[in-house]
Amino acid sequence: MVIDFSPFFGQQTPLDRIFEAFWSPNMAISQRPYSYPPVNISEDEERIVVRCEIPGMDISELDLTLTESSLVVKGERQAAKGKYYRQERPTGAFQRVVNIHAPIDRDKVTAKMKDGLLEVVIPKSEASKPKKISIDIA
Amino acid sequence: MSEITKTEEKGLPRVKPSTDIVETDDGFFIYMDMPGVSKEALIIDLNEDEIKVSGRTAYPAPDGEKLVHVEFGNGEYYRGFTVSHIVDKSRIKATVKNGVLELHLPKAEKAQPRKIDIQMG
Protein backbone atom coordinates (compact mmCIF):
# COMPACT_ATOMS: atom_id res chain seq x y z
CA MET A 1 0.00 0.00 0.00
CA VAL A 2 1.22 3.45 -0.85
CA ILE A 3 -0.18 6.55 0.83
CA ASP A 4 0.75 10.07 -0.07
CA PHE A 5 0.99 12.36 2.89
CA SER A 6 -0.85 15.35 1.57
CA PRO A 7 -2.00 17.83 4.20
CA PHE A 8 -5.58 16.92 3.28
CA PHE A 9 -5.20 13.21 3.93
CA GLY A 10 -7.67 11.74 6.38
CA GLN A 11 -9.69 14.91 6.80
CA GLN A 12 -13.15 15.81 5.59
CA THR A 13 -14.02 19.39 6.41
CA PRO A 14 -16.49 21.34 4.25
CA LEU A 15 -13.50 23.05 2.67
CA ASP A 16 -12.07 19.67 1.74
CA ARG A 17 -15.29 18.66 0.09
CA ILE A 18 -15.31 21.80 -2.06
CA PHE A 19 -11.69 21.19 -2.87
CA GLU A 20 -12.35 17.56 -3.75
CA ALA A 21 -15.29 18.52 -5.94
CA PHE A 22 -13.15 20.95 -7.87
CA TRP A 23 -10.21 18.60 -8.26
CA SER A 24 -12.31 15.48 -8.52
CA PRO A 25 -9.90 12.66 -9.30
CA ASN A 26 -12.16 10.75 -11.69
CA MET A 27 -13.01 13.71 -13.83
CA ALA A 28 -12.47 13.20 -17.53
CA ILE A 29 -10.77 15.95 -19.48
CA SER A 30 -14.03 17.12 -21.05
CA GLN A 31 -15.59 17.74 -17.62
CA ARG A 32 -12.73 19.76 -16.22
CA PRO A 33 -13.37 23.40 -15.46
CA TYR A 34 -10.25 24.54 -17.32
CA SER A 35 -9.02 23.95 -20.86
CA TYR A 36 -6.65 21.10 -21.56
CA PRO A 37 -3.84 21.14 -22.50
CA PRO A 38 -2.57 24.47 -21.14
CA VAL A 39 -1.16 26.66 -23.89
CA ASN A 40 1.41 29.45 -24.08
CA ILE A 41 1.57 31.58 -27.21
CA SER A 42 4.40 33.90 -28.07
CA GLU A 43 5.54 35.69 -31.19
CA ASP A 44 8.31 37.69 -32.69
CA GLU A 45 8.65 39.34 -36.08
CA GLU A 46 9.43 36.10 -37.86
CA ARG A 47 7.20 33.49 -36.21
CA ILE A 48 4.44 32.48 -33.83
CA VAL A 49 5.32 29.82 -31.23
CA VAL A 50 2.64 27.70 -29.55
CA ARG A 51 3.74 25.66 -26.53
CA CYS A 52 1.56 23.05 -24.78
CA GLU A 53 2.14 20.93 -21.69
CA ILE A 54 1.00 17.42 -22.64
CA PRO A 55 2.78 14.94 -20.37
CA GLY A 56 2.64 11.24 -21.19
CA MET A 57 1.98 11.67 -24.89
CA ASP A 58 4.35 10.94 -27.72
CA ILE A 59 4.33 13.33 -30.68
CA SER A 60 3.20 10.41 -32.90
CA GLU A 61 0.04 10.06 -30.77
CA LEU A 62 -0.91 13.70 -31.30
CA ASP A 63 -3.01 14.98 -34.16
CA LEU A 64 -1.90 18.45 -35.22
CA THR A 65 -4.02 20.19 -37.82
CA LEU A 66 -3.32 23.58 -39.31
CA THR A 67 -6.25 25.25 -41.01
CA GLU A 68 -6.44 28.66 -42.63
CA SER A 69 -6.80 30.49 -39.33
CA SER A 70 -6.23 28.00 -36.52
CA LEU A 71 -4.01 25.29 -35.10
CA VAL A 72 -5.80 22.28 -33.61
CA VAL A 73 -4.06 19.97 -31.12
CA LYS A 74 -5.94 16.71 -30.64
CA GLY A 75 -5.23 13.48 -28.81
CA GLU A 76 -6.40 10.99 -26.26
CA ARG A 77 -4.78 10.16 -22.94
CA GLN A 78 -5.15 6.55 -21.90
CA ALA A 79 -5.36 5.35 -18.33
CA ALA A 80 -3.05 2.61 -17.04
CA LYS A 81 -4.63 -0.73 -16.22
CA GLY A 82 -4.86 -1.89 -12.64
CA LYS A 83 -6.56 -1.17 -9.36
CA TYR A 84 -6.58 2.59 -8.76
CA TYR A 85 -5.94 3.98 -5.28
CA ARG A 86 -5.68 7.52 -6.53
CA GLN A 87 -6.43 9.02 -9.91
CA GLU A 88 -5.67 12.67 -10.53
CA ARG A 89 -4.10 12.62 -13.98
CA PRO A 90 -6.62 13.58 -16.65
CA THR A 91 -7.68 10.91 -19.12
CA GLY A 92 -9.76 10.90 -22.28
CA ALA A 93 -9.92 12.77 -25.54
CA PHE A 94 -8.82 16.39 -25.68
CA GLN A 95 -8.80 19.11 -28.29
CA ARG A 96 -7.46 22.62 -28.15
CA VAL A 97 -7.88 25.21 -30.87
CA VAL A 98 -5.50 28.15 -31.17
CA ASN A 99 -6.70 30.93 -33.45
CA ILE A 100 -4.09 32.58 -35.59
CA HIS A 101 -4.82 36.03 -36.91
CA ALA A 102 -1.82 36.49 -39.17
CA PRO A 103 -0.84 35.27 -42.63
CA ILE A 104 1.40 32.25 -42.11
CA ASP A 105 3.79 30.16 -44.13
CA ARG A 106 2.01 26.80 -43.85
CA ASP A 107 4.74 24.75 -45.51
CA LYS A 108 7.42 25.66 -42.98
CA VAL A 109 5.56 24.81 -39.77
CA THR A 110 7.57 22.58 -37.44
CA ALA A 111 6.61 20.72 -34.27
CA LYS A 112 8.74 18.99 -31.66
CA MET A 113 8.19 17.50 -28.23
CA LYS A 114 10.51 17.22 -25.24
CA ASP A 115 9.76 16.19 -21.65
CA GLY A 116 6.01 16.51 -22.24
CA LEU A 117 6.24 19.98 -23.77
CA LEU A 118 4.98 20.40 -27.32
CA GLU A 119 6.42 23.29 -29.32
CA VAL A 120 4.88 24.30 -32.64
CA VAL A 121 6.72 26.97 -34.60
CA ILE A 122 4.61 28.73 -37.22
CA PRO A 123 6.60 31.09 -39.46
CA LYS A 124 4.82 34.23 -40.56
CA SER A 125 4.51 34.80 -44.25
CA GLU A 126 6.35 37.63 -45.94
CA ALA A 127 3.08 39.55 -46.33
CA SER A 128 2.60 39.87 -42.58
CA LYS A 129 6.06 41.14 -41.76
CA PRO A 130 6.30 44.86 -41.05
CA LYS A 131 7.70 46.82 -43.95
CA LYS A 132 9.47 50.12 -43.93
CA ILE A 133 8.13 52.66 -46.33
CA SER A 134 10.33 55.56 -47.09
CA ILE A 135 8.58 58.81 -47.64
CA ASP A 136 10.30 61.42 -49.65
CA ILE A 137 9.66 64.85 -48.36
CA ALA A 138 9.35 67.27 -51.16
CA MET B 1 -0.04 21.92 -13.53
CA SER B 2 -2.41 21.43 -10.67
CA GLU B 3 -2.76 23.12 -7.29
CA ILE B 4 -0.26 25.75 -6.37
CA THR B 5 0.44 25.21 -2.71
CA LYS B 6 3.23 27.53 -1.76
CA THR B 7 5.37 30.19 -3.30
CA GLU B 8 9.05 29.71 -2.90
CA GLU B 9 11.49 32.44 -1.92
CA LYS B 10 12.92 32.48 -5.43
CA GLY B 11 9.49 33.09 -6.88
CA LEU B 12 8.90 29.63 -8.31
CA PRO B 13 5.47 28.30 -7.39
CA ARG B 14 5.46 24.93 -5.66
CA VAL B 15 3.10 22.54 -7.40
CA LYS B 16 1.69 19.17 -6.39
CA PRO B 17 1.99 17.07 -9.54
CA SER B 18 -1.13 15.16 -10.61
CA THR B 19 -0.59 11.58 -9.50
CA ASP B 20 -2.06 8.15 -10.16
CA ILE B 21 -1.40 5.25 -7.78
CA VAL B 22 -2.19 1.90 -9.36
CA GLU B 23 -1.82 -1.63 -8.05
CA THR B 24 -1.14 -4.46 -10.48
CA ASP B 25 0.13 -8.02 -10.10
CA ASP B 26 3.71 -6.66 -10.38
CA GLY B 27 3.31 -4.29 -7.47
CA PHE B 28 2.44 -0.62 -7.22
CA PHE B 29 2.93 1.99 -9.89
CA ILE B 30 3.01 5.72 -9.19
CA TYR B 31 2.62 7.94 -12.24
CA MET B 32 3.30 11.64 -11.84
CA ASP B 33 2.74 14.31 -14.49
CA MET B 34 5.86 16.47 -14.41
CA PRO B 35 6.06 18.16 -17.81
CA GLY B 36 9.15 20.22 -18.44
CA VAL B 37 11.29 18.38 -15.89
CA SER B 38 14.33 16.69 -17.40
CA LYS B 39 15.85 13.52 -15.96
CA GLU B 40 18.74 15.56 -14.56
CA ALA B 41 16.45 18.00 -12.73
CA LEU B 42 14.54 15.24 -10.93
CA ILE B 43 15.30 14.29 -7.33
CA ILE B 44 13.88 11.15 -5.73
CA ASP B 45 14.74 10.56 -2.07
CA LEU B 46 13.92 7.36 -0.24
CA ASN B 47 14.29 7.69 3.52
CA GLU B 48 12.98 4.88 5.72
CA ASP B 49 9.35 4.64 4.61
CA GLU B 50 9.16 7.97 2.84
CA ILE B 51 9.69 8.72 -0.81
CA LYS B 52 10.06 12.39 -1.68
CA VAL B 53 9.95 13.48 -5.29
CA SER B 54 10.89 16.94 -6.46
CA GLY B 55 11.86 18.54 -9.73
CA ARG B 56 12.07 21.93 -11.35
CA THR B 57 10.91 22.83 -14.78
CA ALA B 58 13.41 24.60 -16.93
CA TYR B 59 11.54 26.42 -19.63
CA PRO B 60 13.97 28.85 -21.17
CA ALA B 61 12.75 32.42 -21.42
CA PRO B 62 11.67 32.91 -25.03
CA ASP B 63 14.50 34.86 -26.57
CA GLY B 64 13.18 38.02 -28.15
CA GLU B 65 9.64 36.66 -28.23
CA LYS B 66 6.68 38.57 -26.92
CA LEU B 67 4.37 36.44 -24.78
CA VAL B 68 0.84 36.81 -26.09
CA HIS B 69 -1.03 34.27 -23.97
CA VAL B 70 0.22 32.42 -20.87
CA GLU B 71 -1.38 29.46 -19.08
CA PHE B 72 1.62 27.72 -17.55
CA GLY B 73 5.11 28.58 -16.45
CA ASN B 74 8.12 27.47 -14.46
CA GLY B 75 7.51 25.76 -11.17
CA GLU B 76 8.83 23.30 -8.64
CA TYR B 77 7.01 20.00 -8.35
CA TYR B 78 7.00 18.38 -4.94
CA ARG B 79 5.19 15.41 -3.46
CA GLY B 80 5.86 12.82 -0.77
CA PHE B 81 4.61 9.29 -0.22
CA THR B 82 4.64 6.77 2.60
CA VAL B 83 5.52 3.24 1.58
CA SER B 84 4.36 0.32 3.68
CA HIS B 85 6.34 -2.81 4.58
CA ILE B 86 4.82 -4.86 1.75
CA VAL B 87 6.92 -2.98 -0.79
CA ASP B 88 10.40 -4.26 -1.54
CA LYS B 89 12.27 -0.98 -1.13
CA SER B 90 15.51 -2.32 -2.58
CA ARG B 91 13.90 -2.91 -5.97
CA ILE B 92 12.11 0.41 -6.47
CA LYS B 93 12.61 1.63 -10.04
CA ALA B 94 12.06 5.06 -11.56
CA THR B 95 11.73 5.98 -15.22
CA VAL B 96 10.92 9.28 -16.89
CA LYS B 97 9.30 9.42 -20.30
CA ASN B 98 7.55 12.29 -22.06
CA GLY B 99 7.30 14.30 -18.85
CA VAL B 100 5.78 11.51 -16.75
CA LEU B 101 7.68 9.97 -13.84
CA GLU B 102 6.88 6.30 -13.31
CA LEU B 103 7.83 4.73 -10.01
CA HIS B 104 7.56 0.97 -9.79
CA LEU B 105 7.32 -0.38 -6.26
CA PRO B 106 7.43 -4.18 -6.39
CA LYS B 107 5.76 -6.12 -3.60
CA ALA B 108 8.03 -8.02 -1.24
CA GLU B 109 8.07 -11.80 -1.74
CA LYS B 110 6.16 -12.49 1.45
CA ALA B 111 3.36 -10.12 0.41
CA GLN B 112 2.66 -11.95 -2.84
CA PRO B 113 -0.63 -13.86 -2.67
CA ARG B 114 -0.01 -17.59 -2.49
CA LYS B 115 -2.29 -20.47 -3.23
CA ILE B 116 -2.37 -23.08 -0.52
CA ASP B 117 -2.73 -26.66 -1.63
CA ILE B 118 -5.29 -28.61 0.29
CA GLN B 119 -4.35 -32.17 0.96
CA MET B 120 -7.04 -34.76 1.11
CA GLY B 121 -7.19 -36.41 4.51
Strand partners, B84: none
Peptide bond into A37 cis (omega under 30): yes
Residue A72: the pLDDT is 93
In this predicted complex, what is the ipTM?
Answer: 0.77
Interface residue B81 vs chain A (CB under 8 A): yes
DSSP state of B73: -
- Nearest by CB to residue B20, choosing from A54, A58, A84, is A84
A44-53, A125-134, B98-107, range with the lowest pLDDT: A125-134
DSSP A78-95: PPPSSEEEEE-S--EEEE
Q: Which of residues 48-77 of B touch A (CB under 8 A)?
A: 50, 59, 62, 64-73
Cβ pairs A/B, distance under 8 A? 132
Per-residue pLDDT of B32-58, as tens digits, reads 999 999 888 999 998 888 899 999 988
Residue of higher predicted confidence among A11 and A86 = A86
Cα B85 to Cα B80: distance, rounded to the nearest angstrom: 17
- Nearest by CB to residue A3, choosing from B68, B70, B82, is B82
Q: Is the pLDDT of residue B74 over 60?
A: yes
- Nearest by CB to residue A55, choosing from B34, B70, B86, is B34
A17-31, B30-44, B75-89, range with the lowest pLDDT: A17-31
Residue B101: the pLDDT is 94
Instruction: Name the pLDDT band for B7 (thresholds 50, 70, 90).
Output: very low
DSSP A45-109: SSEEEEEEE-TT--GGG-EEEE-SSEEEEEEEEPPPSSEEEEE-S--EEEEEEEE--S-B-GGG-
Cα B75 to Cα A1: distance, rounded to the nearest angstrom: 29
Task: Say whether pTM exceeds 0.90.
Answer: no
Residue B9: the pLDDT is 47
A7-21, A35-49, A52-66, range with the lowest pLDDT: A7-21
Instruction: Name the pLDDT band for B8 (thresholds 50, 70, 90).
Output: very low
Residue in A63, A82, A83 with CA at minimum distance from that of residue A72: A63
| Mean pLDDT, range A76-81, rounded to an integer | 90
| Mean pLDDT, range B82-104, rounded to an integer | 90
Contact between B97 and A20 (Cβ < 8 Å):
no
